[in-house]
Amino acid sequence: MTLTPTSRPRALLVTTTMAALVGSIALPQGASALPFSKLKHGRKLSKAQRKIAAEAMATIKAYQGCDKVLSGCLKQRNKKTEIAWRLADYVAFLTSKGVNKAAIIKILERRRRSALGKQHTIDTVGWPRIGSVKAPITIVEFADFRCTHCTKVGPLLSKLAKRYKSKVTLVFKPYPLKPYGAPLRAAQAALAAQRQGKFWELSELLFSHRDKHDKAGLRELAKRARLDLIGFDAAMTDRALLKQIEKSKIEGLRLGIRGTPTIYINGRQFLLRKDEMHLTQRIEDELFILGK
């Protein structure tokens, strides 16, 4: 077709409009160079999802080893960029689940604060523990035996502590949300079991049998955990246990705990979802930060 002087402006308008439309769905500059194929959760992202992930990676700064935005850190793969690569894969994971850019940025900020936020001093001496006091990572869980979510998180933390053995120690601190009735009785029973070296055995039963937190039910669970019942009964009337629980509660209030379970990893509050993937990645990040 031959363009006449009057048709040229219209043709130019069409061409400009098409270019704008193509540009609106194109990947951000440099996005095509991002190594999505090398990210576990990046390989199957659609073009639209890669666009979202790339925009997020161009905004989110890495930490501990590489201080650039993620897209800049991914230009190299070495020890210094190890956490950056993990963060990039996490961005891809969130994108694959339909999380938008703004939410991804907020979640990654919570992950940063979980790793580098304010570090609190928490009393762990004399409380129930799995693992060595010499372990480089200390996980402290404040929990209420009446808490539904705690029934899932508690066993998961125990599993992770056993998996990481000498690298992780888990400390439990009772935090009954109501300082009376069943929540308080269950906490007393758990600490009574600790006196006989059976805290973890009874705590598992307390979480899985929340219908047995009355006096008779607790005694039944204590028998199932093979506790000496005379010693258990005596401990349940010992006011020292109430003072111990009160001490834990006061500490939790000082920390600003509002719900359970609340988890601290090396003194920093864990702010992400309390599932196996997120907790494992937090442990791995902490080991990297510590050079372990």
pLDDT at 152: 94
180 contacts 144 by C-beta, under 8 angstroms: no
pTM metric for this prediction:
0.87
Q: What is the pLDDT of residues 259-292, one digit of tens each?
A: 999 999 999 999 999 999 999 999 999 999 999 9
**DSSP states along 182-212:** HHHHHHHHHHHHHTTT-HHHHHHHHHH-GGG
What is the three-class DSSP state of 20? Answer: helix
Residue with tokens 């999802």: 49
Domain 129-290's class? Answer: alpha beta
Which tokens belong to 102? 């703004």
Chain centroid offset of residue 143 CA: 15
Q: What is the pLDDT of residues 49-91, one digit of tens each?
A: 999 999 999 999 999 999 999 999 999 999 999 999 999 999 9
Residues of the chain with pLDDT under 70: 1-32
Q: Residues of CATH 3.40.30.10 domain(s) within the chain?
A: 129-290
What is the rounded CA–CA span in Å between residue 89 and residue 166?
Answer: 28
What is the three-class DSSP state of 103? Answer: helix
pLDDT at 28: 53
Strands 137-143 and 168-174, by their bridges, are: parallel
pLDDT at 30: 54
3-state class percentages of the chain: helix first, strand second, coil last, to nearest 5 = 60, 10, 35
Q: How many CB atoms lie within 10 A of CB 111?
A: 22
